[in-house]
Amino acid sequence: MSFDKLKGKMTERHVSQEKLSKVLGITVQSLNAKLNGRSQFTLEEVVKISEHLKLDNPVDIFFNPSVSKMQHIIEPEEEVVM
C-alpha cells in the first residue's frame, strides 16, 4: 500500500484525517494508525475512501503492484555438454 499516495490525495482534496475518520466511522487515532502502517484498512474502508476522495485508480494506492514469486519466469538451465 502506498501511504504517501493516499496522504497526497487527501491533501489535494483538502480532506483532513478528522474528516476522513468521520466518513469511515472510526477515530482519528485509528485512521492515523492505518495511514502509518500500524494497522490495515478493511475492504469497506477502501471503498468508502475511494468514493469520498474520488480516486481514479485506487488499486495503485491500496494494493502492492509487485509480481508474486509464483509468476516469475524461470529461465531454463543451459544444457551441460560432456
For each successive 10 residues of the chain (82 residues), what is the average pLDDT? 90 97 97 94 95 91 66 56 62
Amino acid at 74: I
The CATH homologous superfamily to which domain 3-63 belongs is lambda repressor-like DNA-binding domains (1.10.260.40)
pLDDT at residue 33, rounded to an integer? 96
CA atoms of 56 and 69, how far apart (whole Å): 28
Query: What is residue 1's predicted lDDT score, i.e. its pLDDT?
Result: 77
pLDDT at res. 79: 59
What is the domain partition of the chain in residue ranges?
A: 3-63
Give this prediction's pTM: 0.73
pLDDT the model gives residue 60: 84
Q: Which three cell numbers stand for residue 16?
A: 483532513
Residue holding cell 524461470?
74
The pLDDT assigned to 49 comes to 96
